Amino acid sequence: MDGKRIEGNEVYALAMCVSILLFAPIVVSQPIPADKSQVEAWFNGIIKPVKERGTTLDPELVQAETEPRIIKVMQGGGGEFDTITKAIESVPSGNAKRVIISIGPGSYKEKIRIERNKPFITLLGDPKNMPNLTFDGTAKQYGTVDSATLITESNYFVGANLNIVNSAPRPDRKMVGAQAVALRVSGDRSAFYNCKIIGFQDTLCDDRGNHFFKDCHIRGTVDFIFGSGTSLYLNTEIFVVGDPEGDPEMAIITAHARESSSEDTGYSFVHGRITGTAKDVFLGRA
């Protein structure tokens, strides 16, 4: 993507961005610019230190960001843990402080779950050598929404500079339960920056809550952004993998689960682009 990559020392401020964008009054007077070239300046103007934005943020978030803890995960030594799962397990239930899990390069074959009682967790990779979070779970094994490589159920989660991949085989018309989710986001006020979310059918379960995606790449085939979330996708690439037989009904981007026009949920895509190998694509279906 063309957006700014997220370095470690920027996460403290960026962790609060989703609350600012989705809940703070400042956004009403500073809408996203229509000119894409002005988006970064607009974004950087909104992202400010806690002391400058404290009155527009949730008090619990302001308190959480005052003394962040950093945990290092490295394969082969050099960190406090060698797996992401072990690092998450070290975070206490009822956690009230930002915990930044800094993940070293490499491929981490893990099925990762951050439970609801562990808010304020950040998974941070190196933008120059992004870690691969990969697993091959399928709906047949776990059920669709629980097949995800990474499941975040807690509030105020942040993911930055990550490759999140479900490596299960591409479903065909004969396979049963072959849906394979890469990421499920079920917590409120969560944000993702410079992440690649890769799969085939049902890649991203934007499940419920308010979410923000910036400078991301999301890849899939059918219904690969689905759920009941309320989310903003800014400067994000949607890559549609074409059907080998050219069936256009096998190239559908979104499948939002909203059941009534009175619901205030939905997905907004701003200054993004649709690319891929599919010749014909449906933007969405109910």
Q: How far apart are the first and last CA of the chain?
A: 29
d(CA 274, CA 271): 10
d(CA 82, CA 31): 42
Sequence-separated (6 or more) residues with CB below 8 Å from residue 38: none
d(CA 158, CA 173): 36
- Phi, psi (degrees; rounded to nearest 5) at 261: -70, -15
- Active-site residue, from 82, 223, 247, 280: 223
Specify the length of the chain in residues.
286
Q: Does residue 53 contact residue 45 with C-beta atoms inside 8 Å?
A: no
CA distances from 226 to 195, 222, 283 (A): 17, 10, 12
**Residue spans of alpha helices (H) in the chain:** 11-14, 17-23, 26-29, 39-46, 50-53, 59-64, 84-89, 139-142
d(CA 177, CA 116): 27
Number of helices (H) and strands (E) in the chain: give both, helices first.
8, 22
Question: How many CB atoms neighbour CB 76 within 10 A?
Answer: 8
Q: Does residue 84 contact residue 133 with C-beta atoms inside 8 Å?
A: yes
d(CA 149, CA 147): 7
Q: Is 223 designated active site?
A: yes
What token pair was written down for 181? 């989710």
Catalytic residues, by residue number, are: 223
